[in-house]
């Protein structure tokens, strides 16, 4: 561990998918907190951190769960129990459900905040041992459209770019991402370059977002499109690239397929039609297409404004289409770069962390992939079900039909983060055993649980995370877990043994779990066969692919540099998807689009960041952002209360009137759930309709109306 002071620890930051390295120093006094600063040795962040990473030490001890808790009914108080009793309850219910409903009656909903080892064992328990593919994760709400978009366009998941591309691109195209607040260290890297540029042609930044967020601070071109018109915009750019003959014929010829069908579709998306639908001018569109066409290296960055859409997968493919048209992929500074949300959303994808996936970027639907995992796990042929698992919304629907006898939530807080929250609450109330693995006391999901298992969290368990640029960091265990709290992976392993799968779940450490996982990635795109906890501890974070025998530092920074793709033909695919727009467009009754997103200072449902005074002071309360025109129409005033209603319910919030949002669109933050002092359950208003390919709900848009609430 070169460079760290003695007693210090190193880990990847447990917040966003930038995955900065942290250098952590033990508390000076017995009751003090660990202090965090940027790890200069970490190649992804080179010593940089944002305020959340810097304050993480203050969050670790406050309000922790220390023993398992149980109650038979959710209107009763919890009683502390021991782990022995907790495991008995789990084993009894699992056996009962298997007998009465079959393995399909069991489901788990995990998280991109799992370590890879947690993920891998949760997988193995459900998909391998229990024979149910009903393991899904909150990545369904987050990265699912990126996963399916990459797979349909390029043949496999896996962002092809790296952070150095931020220094090498001459055009950075930011679409549906507020990197200033959500990926701050990457934003600062761009800010520095932007400030230092001698000539605007060195670096031009484009931002596409219906809200004028802090990211606009570095935008040379800002397009405030109507929500849900991203694919129209992308096709409009493609149309003009074709017309200007600014396309890379030899790349298209040698490395792609499906060009003619896509070109035919792009012909339909004329500038006047696109400009009108997106709510921008034709000149803005022309400028954008010219910029793209003449750029040496275009880097696209996107996040939830793209993925959380009824056409999320199509929009991701629409971005990739433009990169294929212009040969802007597999080169320094160029490529379609999906920014991951959670610290280990990437590791989850590698470990098979969605209901349709198996470890090693494999698919449940592929018989050869199932057979490979059955051999790897020493299971009989056919042990892994061919039936695709239930994604999280299908899990909710299964509870509505009394088809789930156990719903296990781990490292996520769905009673804040799922859409249609009232419907979720009613569905979950029907499930006979709701289990929650959680680190903190008093979450919204605890309120609907029967059995609560105290989790050892980041800093208290060793394991790996993969950040957005495919870099794997070992997070060491440098503090003792409070009370009886245990690592999630260890709970899954113990349960597996108690269910009779002793050989499948006997591990001496998480390092052994990781070794078993990396062995099944050999020969796959996400090959980590050469990685181990030991190598990562000795040589620091490494990028994959990292096959067996790779020397430290020898991982790959960019994929597809040879112009070959992991499709059957070796060619990347153009896709020709017709834009469909929002699943719930505004109408006369609900004339506005509500969009829901994040603030710099808070992390999701505030279980950690809500405990840090400095962070709370930055955004003390949830505010509804409204454009002056809409405020006037609805009779709202600054600082007054508004009743916001959708087809699913109503809530009140304090109004802030701002020109930084486009007329017709209003914004609420996602953070303040029912357990906060000033609750603002935005997801009670949102709907669950989503992308038919990725099953990712359209968490960025629902139709609402506003009225003033008299004081
Ligand atoms: N501070 C902080 N950082 C975080 C997180 C956090 O909770 N707090 N969470 C992490 C996670 S898990 C994630 S997934 C990422 C999310 O990172 P981002 O996706 O960057 O964040 P959001 O605020 O959810 O949404 C981004 C933007 O999408 C815009 N948008 C809404 N509708 C549309 C549309 O139709 N088209 C376009 N082009 N844009 C639209 C919104 O106005 C918003 O500014 O952040 C990660 N980083
Ligand atoms: N409308 C709308 N809804 C959204 C979004 C949006 O943009 N708009 N964004 C969506 C996205 S992208 C995401 S990622 C989700 C995030 O939503 P959630 O996943 O629900 O939010 P978190 O607060 O991160 O929940 C993680 C929980 O795990 C606990 N935890 C932390 N570490 C551990 C651990 O090691 N083990 C265990 N067992 N528990 C642990 C934390 O205390 C916390 O309660 O929200 C989604 N919902
Ligand atoms: S940018 Fe993301 S990973 Fe880096 S310190 Fe901030 S929250 Fe942590
Ligand atoms: Mo996310």
Tens digit of pLDDT for each residue in 39-65?
A: 999 999 999 999 999 999 999 999 999
Is the Cβ atom of 56 under 6 angstroms away from ligand 3? no
- Same-domain pairing of 270 and 385: no
Residues 236, 275: one domain? yes
Work out the pLDDT band at 710, boundaries 50, 70, 90.
Answer: confident
Confidence of residue 3 (pLDDT cuts 50, 70, 90): very low
164, part of any domain: yes
Q: Could you tell me the distance, in angstroms and rounded to a whole number, from the CA of residue 109 to the centre of ligand 4?
A: 14
Q: Is the CB of 209 under 6 A from ligand 1?
A: yes
Enumerate the β-bridge partners of residue 475: 463
Ligand 3 mean position to 343 CA, how many Å? 9
Q: Which ligand is nearest to the CA of 14?
A: 3
3-state secondary structure of 413: coil
Q: Describe the crossing of helices 510-519 and 116-123 by its angle, rounded to 10 degrees.
A: 70
Model confidence at 2, pLDDT cuts 50, 70, 90, reads very low
In a domain, residue 579? The reply is no
Measure Cα distances from 124 to 119, 173, 349, 357 in Å: 9, 39, 14, 12
Task: Tell me which of 211, 670, 680 to substitute to probe ligand 2's pocket, judged by most ligand atoms within 8 Å of the beta carbon.
Answer: 670
Question: Is-contact 441 64, C-beta < 8 A?
Answer: yes
Q: Select from 338, 361, 389 the last residue of a domain.
A: 338
DSSP collapsed to 3 states, 221-265 = EEECCCCCCHHHHHHHHHHHHHHCCCCCHHHHHHHEECHHHHHHH
679 CB-contact burial (10 Å; exposed 0-12 / middle 13-18 / buried 19+): middle
Distance (Å) from CA 205 to ligand 4 centroid: 24
- Which of 21, 184, 618 to probe ligand 3 with, by most ligand atoms within 8 A of CB? 184
Q: Whose CA is nearest to atom 17 of ligand 1?
A: 182
Query: For position 51, which CATH number holds?
Result: 3.30.200.210
Say how far residue 140 (Cα) sits from the centre of its chain: 8
Distance 239 CA to ligand 2 centre (A): 39
What gap in Å lies between CA 137 and CA 395, rounded to an integer?
Answer: 11
- Decide: helix, strand or coil at residue 157: coil
- Quick check: CB of 424 below 6 Å from ligand 2? no
- Give the model's confidence band at 675: pLDDT under 50 very low, under 70 low, under 90 confident, else very high: very high
Label the pairing between strands 463-466 and 434-438. unpaired
Which one, of 320, 359, 338, 311, lies nearest residue 701 by Cα?
A: 311
Which ligand is the nearest neighbour of the Cα of 181? 1
Same structural domain, 219 and 349? no
Are both 370 and 504 inside the same structural domain? Answer: yes
465 CB within 6 A, ligand 3: no
CA distances from 328 to 334, 569, 651 (A): 5, 20, 45
Same domain, 18 and 97: no
397 falls within a domain: yes
Is the CB–ligand 3 distance for residue 15 below 6 Å? yes
Q: Which of 14, 113, 209 to mutate to test the pocket of ligand 2 (most atoms within 8 A of CB)?
A: 113
334 shares its domain with 358? no
Q: What is the mean pLDDT of residues 668-690?
A: 98
Atom 37 in ligand 1: residue holding the nearest Cα: 176
CA distance 557 to 536: 17
Q: What is the mean pLDDT of residues 310-332?
A: 98
Above 50 in pLDDT, residue 308?
yes
Which ligand gives the minimal distance to the CA of 471? 3
Q: Whose CA is nearest to atom 15 of ligand 2?
A: 417
Report whether residue 18 contacts ligand 3, using a CB cutoff of 6 Å.
yes
Domain for residue 471, yes or no?
Answer: yes
pLDDT above 60 (res 4)? no
Percent helix, percent strand, percent coil in the chain, to nearest 5: 35, 20, 45
Pairing of strands 256-257, 572-573: parallel
Atom 2 in ligand 3: residue holding the nearest Cα: 16
- d(C-alpha 229, C-alpha 246), whole Å: 23
Has residue 301 been placed in a domain? yes
Q: In the Cβ-directed half-sphere of 646, how many Cα atoms lie within 13 Å?
A: 25
| pLDDT score at 148 | 98
The total number of structural domains that make up the chain = 4
Average of pLDDT values for 668-674? 98
Q: Classify residue 559 as exposed, middle or buried by CB count within 10 Å of its CB (0-12, 13-18, 19+).
A: buried
Residue 77 lies in a domain: yes
> What is the rounded end-to-end Cα distance, in angstroms, of the chain?
60
Q: What is the pLDDT of residues 355-364, one digit of tens each?
A: 999 999 999 9
The alpha-helical segments, DSSP class H, found in 61-157 are 83-100, 116-123, 144-154
Q: What is the mean pLDDT of residues 379-392?
A: 96
Rg (CA), the chain: 24
Under a CB-based contact definition with an 8 Å cutoff, are residues 519 and 529 in contact?
yes
Q: Is 48 in the same domain as 123?
A: no
Q: Which two tokens stand for residue 384?
A: 């892994």
Q: Of 59, 84, 105, which closes a domain? A: 59
Q: Tell me if residue 646 falls in helix, strand or coil.
A: strand
Two tokens, residue 496: 């597996």
Is residue 353 included in any domain, yes or no?
yes
Task: Give the CA dihedral 633, 637, 642, 644, nearest 10 degrees.
Answer: 30
Residue with tokens 């349960």: 495
Region of residue 703 (phi > 0: left; psi between -120 and 50: alpha; otherwise: beta): beta
Task: Please give the pLDDT value at position 711.
Answer: 59
Tell me the C-alpha distance between 96 and 89, whole Å. 11
Pair (322, 359) in one structural domain: no
Helix (H), strand (E) at residue 55 = helix 51-55
* Cα 115 to ligand 4 centroid, rounded to whole Å: 15
Name 435's bridge partners.
408, 451
Same-domain check for residues 535 and 637: no
Report the C-alpha gap between 21 and 13 in whole angstroms. 6
Indicate the residue among 338, 353, 376 that finishes a domain: 338
**Edge-to-edge order in the sheet of strand 9-12:** 9-12, 21-25, 35-38
Other Cβ atoms within 10 Å of 68 Cβ, number: 27
CB atoms within 10 A of CB 94: 22
Cα 267 to chain centroid distance, Å, stands at: 34
pLDDT digits (tens, 9 = 90+) for 151-186: 999 999 999 999 999 999 999 999 999 999 999 999
171 and 235, same domain (yes or no): yes
Contact (Cβ atoms closer than 8 angstroms) between residue 137 and residue 109? yes
Question: For ligand 2, is residue 536 a contact (CB within 6 Å)?
Answer: no
Query: Is 90 exceeded by the pLDDT of residue 514?
Result: yes
Ligand 2 in contact with 646 (CB < 6 A)?
Answer: no
In this structure, what DSSP letter does residue 431 have?
-
E-only strand ranges, 41-179:
69-70, 79-80, 106-110, 135-137, 171-175
Same domain, 93 and 183: no
Structural domain boundaries, residue 20? 4-59
Rounded Cα distance between 9 and 463, Å, is: 13
Q: Mutate which of 36, 183, 601 to test ligand 3's pocket (most atoms within 8 Å of Cβ)?
A: 183
DSSP secondary-structure letter at 60? S
14, pLDDT greater than 60 = yes
Q: With 80 as the cut, is the pLDDT of residue 6 above it?
A: no
Indicate if ligand 2 lies below 6 Å from the C-beta of 115.
no
CATH code of residue 455: 3.40.50.740
pLDDT of 611-669, one tens digit each? 999 999 999 999 999 999 999 999 999 999 999 999 999 999 999 999 999 999 999 99
What is the average per-residue pLDDT within 560-583?
A: 98
Q: Which residues of 351-363 are buried (b: 16+ CB within 10 A; e: fewer)?
A: bbbbbbbbbbbbb
Q: Which residues contact 245 (CB under 8 A, 6 or more apart)?
A: none
Residue 7 has pLDDT above 90, yes or no: no
Question: Residue 341 is encoded by which pair of tokens?
Answer: 């949300």
- The per-residue pLDDT for range 88-115, each reduced to its tens digit, is 999 999 999 999 999 999 999 999 999 9
Cα–Cα distance, 433 to 89 (Å, whole number)? 9
Name the percent of the chain lying above pLDDT 90.
98
Residue nearest to atom 8 of ligand 3 (CA): 53
Half-sphere exposure of 315 (CA within 13 A, CB side): 36
Position 559 in a domain = no
Cα 173 to ligand 3 centroid, rounded to whole Å: 21
pLDDT confidence band for 5 (50 / 70 / 90):
low
Is residue 1 predicted with pLDDT exceeding 60?
A: no
Looking at the fold, whether 662 and 521 belong to one and the same domain comes out as no
Give Cα separations from 174 to 216, 236, 475, 603, 643 (angstroms).
10, 16, 30, 21, 33
Query: What confidence score (pLDDT) does residue 36 get?
Result: 97
Which residues partner with 704 through β-bridges?
Answer: 592
The answer on pLDDT for 293 being more than 70 is: yes
pLDDT at 386 (0 to 100):
96
Give yes or no for residue 60 CB within 6 A of ligand 3. no
Question: Is pLDDT at 676 greater than 60 in this prediction?
Answer: yes
Over residues 522-544, the pLDDT tens digits come to 999 999 999 999 999 999 999 99
700 CB less than 6 Å from ligand 1? yes
- Could you report the per-residue pLDDT of 435-479, keeping only the tens digit for each? 999 999 999 999 999 999 999 999 999 999 999 999 999 999 999
Q: What is the CATH number of the domain that holds 242?
A: 3.40.228.10
Kindly identify the ligand whose nearest atom is closest to the C-alpha of 608.
Answer: 2
Contact 511, 525 (CB under 8 A): no
């Amino acid at each position: 561990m070169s460079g760290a002071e003695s007693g210090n620890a190193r880990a990847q930051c447990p917040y966003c998918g930038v995955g900065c390295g942290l250098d952590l120093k033990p508390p000076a006094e017995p009751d003090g907190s660990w202090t965090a600063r940027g790890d200069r040795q970490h190649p992804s962040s080179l010593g940089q951190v944002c305020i959340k990473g810097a304050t993480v030490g203050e969050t670790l001890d406050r309000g922790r769960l220390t023993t398992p808790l149980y109650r038979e009914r959710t209107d009763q108080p919890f009683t502390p129990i021991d782990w022995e009793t907790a495991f008995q309850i789990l084993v009894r219910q699992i056996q009962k459900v298997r007998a009465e409903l079959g393995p399909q009656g069991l489901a788990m909903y995990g998280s991109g905040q799992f370590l890879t080892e947690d993920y891998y064992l949760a997988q193995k328990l459900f998909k391998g041992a229990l024979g149910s593919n009903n393991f899904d994760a909150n990545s369904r709400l987050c990265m699912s459209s990126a996963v399916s978009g990459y797979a349909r366009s390029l043949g496999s998941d896996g962002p092809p770019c790296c952070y150095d591309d931020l220094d090498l691109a001459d055009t950075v195209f930011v679409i549906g991402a507020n990197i200033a607040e959500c990926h701050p260290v990457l934003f600062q890297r761009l800010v520095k370059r932007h400030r230092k540029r001698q000539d605007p042609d060195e670096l031009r930044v484009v931002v596409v977002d219906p809200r004028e967020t802090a990211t606009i601070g570095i935008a040379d071109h800002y397009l405030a499109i109507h929500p849900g018109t991203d694919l129209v915009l992308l096709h409009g750019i493609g149309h003009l690239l074709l017309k200007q003959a600014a396309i890379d014929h030899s790349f298209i010829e040698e490395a792609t397929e499906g060009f003619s069908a896509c070109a035919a579709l792009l012909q339909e998306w004329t500038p006047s039609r696109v400009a009108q639908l997106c709510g921008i001018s034709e000149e803005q569109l022309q400028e954008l297409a010219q910029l793209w066409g003449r750029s040496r290296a275009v880097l696209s960055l996107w996040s939830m404004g793209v993925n959380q859409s009824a056409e999320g997968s199509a929009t991701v493919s629409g971005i990739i289409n433009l990169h294929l048209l212009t040969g802007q992929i597999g080169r320094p500074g160029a490529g379609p770069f999906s920014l991951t949300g959670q610290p280990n959303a990437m590791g989850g994808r590698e470990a098979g962390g969605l209901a349709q996936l198996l470890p090693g970027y494999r698919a449940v639907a592929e018989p050869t992939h199932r057979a490979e995992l059955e051999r790897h796990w020493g299971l009989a042929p056919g042990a892994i079900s061919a039936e695709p698992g239930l994604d999280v919304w299908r899990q909710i629907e299964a509870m509505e039909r009394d088809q789930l006898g156990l719903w296990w939530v781990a490292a996520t807080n769905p009673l804040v983060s799922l859409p249609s929250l009232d419907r979720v609450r009613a569905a979950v109330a029907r499930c006979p055993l709701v289990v929650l693995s959680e680190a903190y006391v008093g979450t919204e999901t605890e309120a609907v649980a029967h059995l609560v298992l105290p989790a050892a969290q980041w800093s208290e368990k060793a394991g790996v995370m993969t950040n957005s640029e495919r870099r794997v960091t070992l997070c060491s265990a440098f503090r003792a877990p409070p009370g009886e709290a245990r690592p999630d992976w260890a709970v899954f392993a113990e349960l597996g043994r108690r269910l009779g799968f002793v050989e499948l779940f006997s591990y001496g450490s998480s390092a052994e779990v990781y070794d078993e996982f990396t062995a099944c990635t050999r020969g796959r795109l996400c090959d980590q066969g050469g990685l181990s906890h030991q190598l990562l501890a000795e040589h620091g974070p490494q990028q994959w692919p990292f096959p067996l025998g790779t020397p430290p530092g020898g991982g790959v920074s960019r994929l597809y540099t040879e112009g070959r793709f992991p499709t059957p033909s070796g060619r990347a695919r153009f896709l020709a998807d017709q834009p469909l727009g929002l699943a719930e467009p505004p109408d006369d009754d609900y004339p506005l689009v509500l969009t829901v997103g994040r603030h710099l200072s808070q992390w999701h449902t505030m279980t950690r960041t809500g405990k840090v005074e400095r962070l709370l002071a930055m955004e003390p309360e949830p505010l509804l952002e409204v454009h002056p025109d809409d405020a006037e129409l609805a009779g709202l005033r600054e600082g007054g209360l508004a009743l916001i209603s959708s087809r699913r319910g109503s809530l009140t919030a304090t109004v802030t009137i701002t020109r930084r949002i486009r007329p017709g669109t209003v914004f609420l933050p996602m953070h303040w759930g029912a357990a906060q002092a000033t609750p603002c359950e935005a997801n009670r208003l949102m709907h669950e309709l989503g992308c038919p390919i990725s099953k990712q709900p359209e968490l960025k848009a629902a139709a609402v109306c506003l009225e003033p609430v008299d004081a």
